[in-house]
Amino acid sequence: MYSIYSYITTVVSHGLSTIPAYVWATIGALYLTWRALLPRPIPGIPHYNRDSARSILGDIPGLIRAGTKQQIWIADQNIKHNSPLVQLFLDPFGPPVLVLSDFREAQDIMLRRSSEWGKAVITREIFGGVLPNAHIVMKSADPRFKLNKELVRDLMTPAFLNEVSKILVTRSPLFQFLCRPLLK
């Protein structure tokens, strides 16, 4: 029976060839698994934390260190990288989160180019279990989305909101309960 000392001296004297092949295969498989689990930055957006891209947890440790000032930490990433657009790795094994801090560009996306962007996955995850067929859960490419949009189009006109919805909302018990202190 070999002691650890004799095994190490044998490995050192004969080289690494005495280590069994299954040990090398295990080390290789672990390395490949680790590489596959690392966050993948979106190509073309160079602004992200390099150290976070080398960690399976991504930016989560930095976010945890921020404690109650997490929003400030996220905003500081734009300042740190001197860029209005940065990538954050906040979801292990998930895609990076893009943080845009340029007001004009954000306004342009929201007002003029919203068709280029679909609904956020997190919105579908939050409401999908409770309301699987609701308008908020449907993707823009879903054929039901266009039909549903046609159904609710008239419900969003200013006349309908002022004449019907306003009356129904102000008569609701929840509205009465919440606004009672304000009315006194």
Q: Which has the closest alpha carbon to 97: 72, 68, 74?
A: 74
Residue 104's alpha-carbon distances to 82, 111, 138, 143, 144, in angstroms, are 17, 10, 28, 32, 32
Residues of the chain above pLDDT 90, percent:
22
Flag whether pLDDT at 16 surpasses 60: no
Instruction: Please give the model's pTM, rounded to 2 decimal places.
Output: 0.59
Task: Output the pLDDT for position 184.
Answer: 60
Structure token pair of residue 158: 């200013």
Instruction: Give the angle 101-102-106 at the CA atoms, nearest 5°.
Output: 95
Q: Is the CB of residue 82 less than 8 Å from the CB of residue 74?
A: no
Identity of residue 48: Y
pLDDT at 104 over 60: yes
**HEC profile for 67-91?**
CCCHHHHHHHHHHHHCCCEEEECCC
Tell me phi and psi for residue 3, to 5 degrees. -90, 165
CB atoms within 10 A of CB 86: 24
> Which residue do the tokens 């342009």 mark?
108
Strand ranges in 12-163 using DSSP code E only, listed in sequence order? 85-88, 97-100
Check if the beta carbon of residue 40 is closer than 8 Å to that of residue 93.
no
What is the pLDDT at residue 22? 81
φ, ψ of residue 85 to 5 degrees: the values are: -130, 120
- Give residue 77's pLDDT band: very low, low, confident or very high (50, 70, 90): very high
